[in-house]
Amino acid sequence: MKRKLRLGLLGTGVAARTLYLPAFARLGDRIEVLACASRHRENAAGYARLAGIPVVARDARELFSLPHLDAVFISLPIHLQPRYVLSALAAGKAVLSEKPLAPNLPAGRRLVAAAGRYSSPWLIAENYAFLPELDRLRSWLHQGRLGEVRLVEVRQVTWMDRRNPYFNTAWRARPRHLGGFVLDGGVHLAHVVRRLFGMPVELKRLTAAFATDLPPIDTAVAVLRFPGGAVGTWTSCFSARDPGPLLRVLGSRGNAELHRDRVVRRTAGGRETTYRSGVDSYEAQLRHFADVVLDGAPPAFTPADGLADLTLIASICGRGALPRPAPR
């Protein structure tokens, strides 16, 4: 029987409660959450009662100093992440930290460079990297099921208001990270795009701020050109409604759509194939983190990957440029 990862949690906000608490409950065979801490001790104490966590640390320093912990999961506001990632690594802990890895591209570059001094594993919690539906779409592309890819359409259109718990977090209402919700949510699709088609070689963008309570922008539109020759569009908008797919791929032999819970392929003749895995990607990424820390498994998603995703979404938000393609 495999040993359990002894984990500490820093940050007990909305994501920790709605996304990770259910995943921890299903991972009892592989992960023990033995301690937690938060910027507000009463929040950490409440989370500990919900999750059955035995130790509530006073602060991050005390959490990182606990000798019985193998690793820490840092789920803090984006602008605070770099500081605590480096502190945890300096304390000798393996680290899983939330996406995006930093509030902007310069901070991300500094963080990745500084983290290179430490030997403990550091992974980024990009749950889309663990979607079997994404792997299935990638296999269809590699097998030529869609033929030559011509068009890629990325759409993240969500109505964000006070009925959404993420709207009500203070640090999102007054963001100290680039792009607001466009960056925070869009980094997931940046990973999808890069994983399927590579980093775009050309990008032109427009941004807008329609909703005053979604600073600094709530909308970004871009046109893209990919290394394989396909062209694409990117639409992020958090002040409109659209129940459509996150991604559409149009090829010479068929099309495909990626939804949050399924991927669909349609042939030129109209035949439809749907794949649903039923896998919880948050649970999958936490189990993978345990495999990396305890068994030395190769990381499926590295800080370099997280920095590349940040590079793409920062470019779409209007800050930063894409890396230059390597000469042929």
Nearest 5°: phi and psi at 187?
A: -65, -25
**Model pTM score:** 0.95
Strands 254-258 and 247-251, sheet pairing = antiparallel
Q: What pLDDT, on the 0 to 100 scale, is given for residue 242?
A: 93
Q: What pLDDT, on the 0 to 100 scale, is given for residue 320?
A: 65
CATH architecture for segment(s) 5-128+281-300: 3-Layer(aba) Sandwich (3.40)
- Strand segments (E) across the chain: 5-10, 31-37, 55-56, 71-74, 94-98, 122-125, 149-157, 202-208, 219-225, 231-237, 247-251, 254-258, 263-267, 272-275
What's the length of the chain? Answer: 328
Q: Which of the residues in the chain have pLDDT under 50?
A: 328
For residue 263, what are its two tokens? Answer: 């991927």
| Tens of pLDDT, residues 99-148 | 999 999 999 999 999 999 999 999 999 999 999 999 999 999 999 999 99
Distance CA(269)–CA(13), nearest Å, equals 48
Q: What pLDDT, on the 0 to 100 scale, is given for residue 323?
A: 75
Amino acid making up residue 106: P
Contacts of 243 (CB under 8 A, 6+ apart): none
Q: What pLDDT, on the 0 to 100 scale, is given for residue 192?
A: 98
Domain residues of the chain, as ranges?
Answer: 5-128+281-300, 131-279+311-317
Helix H or strand E segment including 147: none
Q: What pLDDT, on the 0 to 100 scale, is given for residue 6?
A: 98
CATH architecture for segment(s) 131-279+311-317: 2-Layer Sandwich (3.30)
